[in-house]
Structure formats: C-alpha cells, structure tokens
Amino acid sequence: MAELILTVLKYSVILAIPASMMVLSMEAEKPYLKVLYNNPKMMLRYFLVMFVLVPALALALYYFDIDNRHTWLAVLVISLSPASPGMLKSLNKINGDTKISIAWMITAILLSVIMLPVNLFIIDRFIKFKIDLGIDDVMIKLFIMFLLPMIVGFMISKFIPKAVPGLKKILGLISKVASITLIICVLIIAVPVLMNKSLVSMGLILAFLIITLGLSLLFELPGEKYGPILAYSVVLRLPAPALVLASINGMTKVYAPEIITFLLFGIILMMIYSKLFYGKKKVVN
C-alpha cells in the first residue's frame, strides 16, 4: 500500500507541475520581464532575501541547534525551493501588481535553476550533510517540470493563440486532478506521522516562517506599492524540490511531515496576514 501511494505521488507531481506551469504562462501571455528588470534594486532585494538570507538562516539554525537538526534540514531544503505559482492568485486577490508578480515568479524559477544547485553544492562540499543531494536530478527536474512547460506555454500564446482556450481547459483539468491527488497522497503519508510530531518541532517551523515573513516585509518596504510579492514568495514555497530530494534519499515518509507542516503553516500565516492588512474578503487561496 505504501509503495502504491508513493508511486501515485510521484506521477501526480509529474502531471500537476508542468500542466500548471503551461496554464500559468498561457494566461500571462508574456513574461513581463522588462517591467521587473527596469527596477534592478527591487529585484536584487528579492534575490538576496529568497535565495541567500533565508537559506542562510535555515543553515545556521541547523548548525547551531543540534537537538533539532532533523527539523532544520527539512526546513533548509524547502527554503531552497522556488515560490509556489499559487502566490499569483493570492496576490491578485489583494490587488498586488500582476505584471511584477508574474515577472518575479518566472525570474525566481529561473534563478532557482542556478541557486538551488549552487546552494546544494556548497552544503554538500563544506557542511558535509549525510544526505544525497542529487544536484543533477534536481536541475533536470526543474528544467523539465518548470522552465520547459513555461517556454512552451509562452510560445503557444504567441504563435498559435487560437489553441490557448482549449489547451487551458484540458491542462487546467489535468493540473487540478493531479494536484488534488498529490495533496491526498502527501496527507496520507504525513498525517499519521504528524500526529506524533512534537509541539517543539512544529513550533520551530512556525517561528521560522514568522521570522522570514518579517524579514521579507522589511526588505520589501521600498517597493510596497507593488504588494507583498516577496513575502508571499518566501512563505508560500513550492514543495516539489523538497519532495524530489526526499524521494532520492528514500526519505519521503520521514520528511513529509515537516514539508506538509511548512506548507500548512505558511498558508495559514498568509491568510492571517492578508486578513489583518488587506481586509476580510482578501484572503489567500
């Protein structure tokens, strides 16, 4: 039964992510990269927080908090992941800048293809984690599951726009079904173990999210007119790279509780944040 669930989980990820990336790129029609790149200082702040400071914080906590290294290792891997595409819908609901949001989402994925392997290489070489980091596998999967589908989606929008409505319906359905299946599989694996997790472990993950939210808002203040794009990017991470690394090491069951805890607490935290600062009707999906 366990092997069946893991197999279904694997193929759900393979279907859900590329389909959602293609839908995202076809809806955007174009990447709006010039809009973001015309504001290099803001892009630099986003890069430093998401790909340098937050992973560095997780790494420092792993190094110094010896008693909770298992938790911090999971948090570190998740902190190397790009933002979830769901952040775009959340930002739209609070009137965030759509063009900047799309441009940063795409840029973050592009940067993750570089920064994720770089960070993993540094960890592997100098920190000596006892874990197979699978840099080649992660790079290949990021390209196949994220970049390639987005490139295809933008090309379809540009060269055969008449095909977009039909493809969006088909791919949207595939993405929804696969995503629901993915969530169910992760919950089946994680919930029984999560019930036995210590309150300390869950509290540490929540504290980490609150700290990184505050950090991102601090760096985002000069560009706040665009909405809390960085905050949503940092807190609402995509679980796929973390699941890939766990799968490579045969540790999906072990790290699924931390991954699901990070995701759930991140969603709840941003729901509370959006209600407090953007009104009751403007909540995170």
| Residue boundaries of the structural domains of the chain | 2-278
Distance CA 60, CA 211 (A): 14
Mean pLDDT in residue range 79-102:
81
Domain 2-278: assigned CATH number: 1.20.1530.20
pLDDT score of 134 more than 70: no
Tell whether pTM > 0.75.
yes
At 23-43, the pLDDT tens digits run: 888 877 777 788 888 888 888
> Which of the residue ranges 75-89, 145-159, 239-253 would you say has the lowest mean pLDDT?
239-253
Task: Identify the sign of the CA torsion 17, 226, 210, 195.
Answer: negative
- Listed as own residue / partner, the contacts of 173-176 with beta carbons closer than 8 Å and 24 or more positions apart are 174/15, 174/16, 174/19, 175/15, 175/16, 175/19, 175/20, 175/23
The residue with tokens 């794009």 is 229
Residue 50, pLDDT score: 92
Mean pLDDT in residue range 122-143:
67
Mean pLDDT in residue range 91-113:
82
Mean pLDDT in residue range 141-168:
87
pLDDT score of 197 more than 80: no
Q: How far lies 22's CA from each of 13, 25, 32, 71, 78, in Å? A: 14, 5, 16, 33, 23
Question: Would you put residue 222 in left (φ > 0), alpha (ψ -120 to 50) or beta?
Answer: alpha
Which value, to the nearest 10 degrees, does the dihedral of the CA atoms of residues 130, 132, 136, 142 take?
-100
